[in-house]
Amino acid sequence: MQDVENIVNGQKLFLKPEYQEVFKNKKQFEGHAGATNPEKVKDVAKWMTSWEYREKNLAREHITINPAKACQPLGAVMAALGFENTMPYVHGSHGCVAYFRSYFTRHFKEPTPCVSDSMSESAAVFGGLANMKEGLRNCKALYKPEMIAVSTTCMAEVIGDDLDAFVKGARGEAEGELDSTYIPAAHTPSFKGSHITGYDNMMEAILKTLTPEEEVAKDEERINIIPGFETYLGSLKEVKKIASMFSDKIVMLGDHEEQWNTGAGEYKLYAGGTPIEVAKSAKGAKATISLQKYTTPTTGKFIKNEWKQEYVTCNPIGLNGTDAFVMKLSELTGKPVPAELAKLRAQLVDAMQDSYPYMHGKKFAIWGDPDFLLGVVSFLVEMGAVPVHVLCHNAPRKGWEKEMQAILDKCTFKEDCHIWMGKDLWALRSLLFTEPVDFMIGNVYGKELYRDTKIPLIRIGFPIFDRHHLHRYSISGYEGCLNLLTWITNAVLDHLDEETKDIAQTDYFFDCVR
Amino acid sequence: MTTETLLSQQQAVIAEVLEAYPDKAKKSRAKHLGVDAPDGVKGACDSTKSNKQTIPGVMSQRGCAYAGSKGVVWGPIKDMVHISHGPIGCGQYSRAGRRNYYIGTTGVDTYVTMNFSTDYQEKDIVFGGDKKLKAALAEIDELFPLNNGISIQSECPIGLIGDDIQAVAKAYKKETGKPTVAVSCEGFRGVSQSLGHHIANDMIRDEVLPDGSYRKDFESTPYDVAIVGDYNIGGDAWSSRILLEEIGLRVIAQWSGDATYKEMTTAPKAKINLLHCYRSMNYVVRHMEQEFGVPWMEYNFFGPSKTTESLRKIAAFFDETIQAKTEAVIAKYTAMTDAVIAKYRPKLEGKKVMLYVGGLRPRHVIGAYEDLGMQVIGTGYEFAHGDDYKRTKDELAGSTLIYDDVNEYELEAFVKKLKPDLVASGVKEKYVFQKMGLPFRQMHSWDYSGPYHGYDAFAIFAKDMDLAMNSPVWGYTKAPWESK
């Protein structure tokens, strides 16, 4: 029973003997092997760590287990929230939207605005036009957006709703209420690509919609930056800061930094974002830089073909990536690298030289989105670490593997490194048991891998539901790279302390100075 | 605040929010909003429209049929593998978010927090995915030999492209002899999670309950009961089970929190089914009553008043030994909960609460707040039916704003106007209200605490509400240099 002076929640309540007795007693009614044949559980658990199991597991083709990717509309919601006063609108069932909102909110600990037009059986039979007509008007009336960014769910895609015609039809029947509202619409089927594809499709649709038909004045000093599906809000901030050191004419298209970082005191439905007017003049820029090459191929094609301007990709994660980004800005602006940036770089390199012994030769498993991996794996290699398992569930078919291999080829221990494309985290479990590593880098779903393999998890990625505020930091630029260095080095040191804290056993190595 | 001013405020704010809508939506929403009181007069609980289509284009908090089936009813059955059948998203967004606690070796003999998906690609949509599904079933059995069955939880495309998952499941079950259940709970079906619960219940009725293999040699006692409609969120079913066992009953099955397939088949052996979440499992207890003659009874284990009332009601079904033990158990725990109330009530007395949840909680938790001296001034359901609102009326203590399928726009307006001291709802709503400086507790996940069912759990509930209401952090919103 609870002790009123020391009330405990489930964590400790169920450790009390009377509850342990409840668990023991329940077993007689239970049918899982843990209750009926605990020895068998041990045997099977052991078999699951074997090479034999690994081979069966990696040969698996039809069932995906513990994926490391999500579906298109999630990315579309992020792209939409990068623009000022914009409401993401999902044409489909509202269940999807409940999921997107919870998913982002659990990660950012912030509200995530997004509406749906609640399609159900009747829409499945008759199409979703009626939902769209009523939905756009209700959305406008209640939330007063300047732009409503429409994406689709698999339901709308399967029944073949004609999105452009629907938007046009809805606008036509809105008695003028939608006349001044931009309504980009993107097909974002969940059965194609992943969340990064949805980001790309929505970004392209938004830019297409906001590109004026008339000629846009050319501004040779203007540069656009597209961040991609970036979940580190501090990265957006740092990229903008670096850009501003070169010019005040470098702007971000799709800047969702503030939307998920609003202050206490008042709830704002919309916060920050690229102003619509700024997006409308983007065509006149000299160049657009995408920070996530493999997240924005369709957007890139649109920019090259329609805006007819230079489209380049940079990946400012890690030292080399940030250097390349900085030099690209220098080249495009015709300005030398500012002394302040050079100083930040020098400070970072100094820090890397301080900490390198703890990362050098350490084996890592890492998973995440393709561009995230190119950046963070590059950083691991820069530090002399060994990315033994690089797993990309949503790896693009073209180009990515070659680019990743080129990074791994620079690794001092390159023969130990493997790229796993299209594999899930249950496959990684087998890889970790058969070819173990020292540390894992990944999202919250690595937590069960940590429990099962005991390999420490360093939480860098998306989503992270069980640690707070990491998304506020940067992993891009020199200062972001310093964050990566700090997190990883200190995780190595924390683990070293764990391993050396046994009194009179290992604690001779429990040093106060490392 | 007097009842009259509260009532007029409540009525005024309804009129105010309706003004924002275009005509069609206004007409529809007006039927879902109202005020009710416990005075016997007809009020919103008698007339509120519910279980209707959500108006398009708003931020509804509702989920879908798949969420109701996979996420609520089937997902917690721990020794079965539940496949999210279709594209990758649904299974990923719903993975391990609901805190359905269980004891087991995850990945080896239990699988609740994992995500199994058929990850449909365009070719599966175009050519159909039945072959893929069949192959997926075989792969699962090869890689997870200790699973005690597989359920197939359909996502939207399955029903639209004409896949015949029922046939695949039947054939596989015949071939392997293992429980294989196809659930057609596509997200577009119905208007909310609710139809998903119903579909899921029907599949338990059709595919699980007919399996009498564990019932054959089952040794019954006169005191066998099953807990139904408790998903063991944060351990709720465990802190309920202990009380039922202490009063002398034998809990032979838990549905479906921490459940095994075996327990799902033995529930008809109960002398009575004890139903906590009426909304999500009333269908299958009614079936067990008709088919197996097992009566059922609703109970409420939130807060000591309701827990005591419920224990007595349950005991009344049994004999005097049980009734005597029940009184002893009540006395034993009441000493503790009285001390909890003495400790926390002075800090919470008179505080006003607005609730917006699903299932049973918009009515069931009212008593727990009242035990702490707190007053619920607004409540509503995401996916209730008329019978839920009728049951709600009995729980009201004063003039209460009633809102069905409330969307974010409305809830924000209601809260701003009625100024509750605490909002208790879900994760999507949480940070909206915290930004306004309002204490908030998630009442789906117990905000990562809990359990909240039973006497021991009430102590946690009280402590958590105090923590939320009386944290110093709410006092910092205004900077010291800002004028008052």
Per residue in B252-277, pLDDT (tens digit) is 999 999 999 999 999 999 999 999 99
Q: What is the pTM of this model?
A: 0.98
Q: How far apart are the first and last CA of chain B?
A: 24
CB B366 within 8 A of CB B395: yes
Q: How far is A16 from chain B (nearest CA, A)?
A: 11
Residue-wise pLDDT tens digits, A43-55: 999 999 999 999 9
Amino acid at A304: K
Give which of B19, B85, B100, B119 to mutate to test A binding, by max A Cβ within 10 Å: B119
Radius of gyration of chain B (CA): 23
Smallest Cα–Cα separation from B63: which of B157, B189, B153? B189
Closest residue in chain B to residue A17, using alpha carbons only: B242
**What pLDDT does residue B1 have?**
56
Q: Which residues of chain B neighbour A71 with C-beta distances below 8 Å?
A: 87-90, 92
Q: Is the pLDDT of residue B3 over 80?
A: no
In order, the DSSP letters of B166-200 are HHHHHHHHHHH-S-EEEE---TTSSSSHHHHHHHH
d(CA A118, CA A128): 9
Contact list, A53 vs chain B (CB under 8 Å): 143
- Put simply, whether A129 touches B (Cβ < 8 Å) is no
Contact B380, B404 (CB under 8 A): yes
Looking at chain A from residue 180 to 199, which residues have their Cβ under 8 Å from any Cβ of chain B? 189-192, 194
The whole-angstrom separation of Cα B195 and Cα B187 is 9
- B410 touches B17 (CB < 8 A): yes
| A94 to B62: CB separation less than 8 angstroms, yes or no | yes
**Which residue on chain A is closest to B190 by alpha carbon?**
A120
When pLDDT is averaged across residues A501-505 and rounded to a whole number, the result is: 97
Q: Please, which residues have CB within 8 angstroms of residue A160's CB and are 6 or more apart in sequence?
A: A127
**Contact B249/B220 with Cβ under 8 angstroms?**
no
Chain B residues whose CB is inside 8 A of the A429 CB are 107
Q: Which residues of A touch B125 (CB under 8 A)?
A: 154, 158, 191
Distance CA B133, CA B86 (A): 10
Q: What angle do CA A37, A41, A46 make, to 5 degrees?
A: 150
| pLDDT tens figures, B31-83 | 999 999 987 778 899 999 999 999 999 999 999 999 999 999 999 999 999 99
* A154 noted as active-site residue: yes
Q: How would you label B232-268 residue by residue, b for 16+ Cβ within 10 Å and e otherwise? A: bbbbbbbbbbbbbbbbbbbbbbbbbbbbbbbbbbbbb
Nearest CB among A118, A135, A142 relative to B20 is that of A142
Burial B292-321 (b: 16+ CB within 10 A, else e): eebebbbbbbbbbebbbebbeebbeebeee
Q: Which two tokens stand for residue B64?
A: 């879908």
- Chain A, window 155-184: residues with a beta carbon less than 8 angstroms from a chain B beta carbon: 155, 158-159, 177
Work out the mean pLDDT of chain A and round it to a whole number: 98
Out of B121, B340, B428, the one facing A191 most closely (by C-beta) is B121
pLDDT value of position B484: 61
The β-bridge partners of B403 are B33
The pair of structure tokens assigned to A206 is 């938004």
- Whether the CB-CB separation of B363 and B392 falls below 8 Å is answered with yes
- Residues 85-114, chain A, touching B (beta carbon < 8 A): 89, 92-103, 105-106, 109-114
What distance in Å separates the CA atoms of residue B378 and residue B353, rounded to the nearest whole number? 7
Do B157 and A155 meet the contact criterion of CB atoms below 8 Å apart?
yes
From chain A, pick out residues whose CB is under 8 angstroms from the CB of B451.
9-10, 13
* pLDDT for the residue numbered B42: 83
Nearest CB among A56, A94, A262 relative to B54 is that of A94
Q: Do A22 and B245 touch (CB under 8 A)?
A: yes
pLDDT for A415 beyond 70: yes
Average pLDDT on B211-235 reads 98
DSSP string, B321-390: HHHHHHHHHHHHHHHHHHHHHHHHHHHHTT-EEEE-BSTTHHHHTHHHHHHTT-EEEEE-BSS--HHHHH
Tell me whether the omega of the peptide bond preceding residue B194 falls within 30 degrees of 0, making it cis: no
- pLDDT tens-digit readout, B155-203: 999 999 999 999 999 999 999 999 999 999 999 999 999 999 999 999 9
Q: Is A136 on the interface with B (CB under 8 A)?
A: yes
Closest CB to A32 among B24, B109, B157: B109
| A361-397 pLDDT, tens digit each | 999 999 999 999 999 999 999 999 999 999 999 999 9
Residue with tokens 């039979």, as numbered in its chain: A125
Strands A457-459 and B33-36: unpaired
Report the candidate in B469, B94, B5, B378 with the shortest Cα–Cα distance to residue A98. Answer: B94
Which residues does chain B have within 8 Å of residue A423's beta carbon, measured at their own beta carbons?
Answer: none
Interface contact B119-A67, CB threshold 8 A: yes
Contact B336 A1 (CB under 8 A): yes
As beta bridge partners, residue B226 has B253, B273
CB-based contact A190 B60, cutoff 8 Å: no
CB contact under 8 A, A192 and B92: no
From chain A, pick out residues whose CB is under 8 angstroms from the CB of B263: 29-31
Q: CB distance A22–B242 less than 8 Å?
A: yes
Q: Is the pLDDT of residue B214 over 60?
A: yes
Interacting residues of B176 by C-beta distance below 8 A, sequence separation 6+ = B141
pLDDT at residue number A431: 98
Query: Cα separation of A239 and B434, whole Å?
Result: 29
Taking contacts as CB-CB distances below 8 angstroms, the residues of chain B near A74 are: 89, 93
Percent of chain A beyond pLDDT 70?
Answer: 100
pLDDT band, very low/low/confident/very high, at A439 (cuts 50, 70, 90): very high
Contact across the interface for B451 and A262, Cβ inside 8 Å: no
Chain pair A-B, CB pairs under 8 angstroms:
362
pLDDT recorded at residue B483: 74
Report ipTM for this prediction. 0.97
Q: Would the CB atoms of A265 and B478 count as touching at under 8 Å?
A: yes
Residues B393, B281: Cα–Cα separation, whole Å: 21
% of residues, chain A, pLDDT over 90: 100
d(CA B66, CA B132): 20
Q: How confident is the model at residue B131 (pLDDT cuts 50, 70, 90)?
A: very high
What 8-state DSSP symbol labels residue A216? Answer: P
Residue A396 near residue A313 (C-beta atoms within 8 A): no
pLDDT of residue B38: 85
**Residue pLDDT, tens place only, A86-115:** 999 999 999 999 999 999 999 999 999 999
Contact A98 B53 (CB under 8 A): no
User: What is the DSSP-derived secondary structure letter of residue A492?
Assistant: H
A212 CA to chain B: closest CA distance, Å?
A: 27
**pLDDT, position B139:** 98
Task: Name the residue in chain B with its Cα closest to that of A175.
Answer: B22
Whole-number pLDDT of residue A308: 97
Contacting residues of B for A26, CB less than 8 Å apart: 241, 251, 254, 258
The total number of residues written for chain A in this structure: 514
Instruction: Tell me the nearest-neighbour CA distance from B40 into chain A, angstroms.
Output: 35
Tell which A residues from 336 to 375 touch B, by Cβ distance under 8 Å: none
User: What secondary structure letter does DSSP report for A3?
Assistant: B
Alpha-carbon span B430 to A300, nearest angstrom:
37
Asked, as a colleague might, if the bond just before B420 is cis with ω within 30 of 0, I would say no
pLDDT classification of A411: cutoffs 50, 70, 90: very high
Average pLDDT, rounded, for chain B: 96
- Helix residue spans in A60-110 (DSSP H): 72-80, 94-108
Interface of A with B in 316-335 (CB under 8 A): none
Among A29, A161, A270, the residue to mutate for chain B (most B Cβ within 10 A): A29
Among A90, A97, A150, A154, which one carries the catalytic annotation?
A154
Which chain A residues have a beta carbon less than 8 Å from that of B22?
Answer: 137-138, 141, 177
Residue positions of B annotated with a catalytic role: 64, 67, 98, 197
Give the pLDDT of residue B31: 97
Chain B nearest-CA distance from A14, in A, is 8
**What element of type H or E holds A6?**
none
Q: For chain B, what percent of residues have pLDDT higher than 70?
A: 99
Tell me the C-alpha distance between A392 and A422, whole Å: 6
Instruction: Report the distance separating Cα B347 and Cα A4, nearest Å.
Output: 15
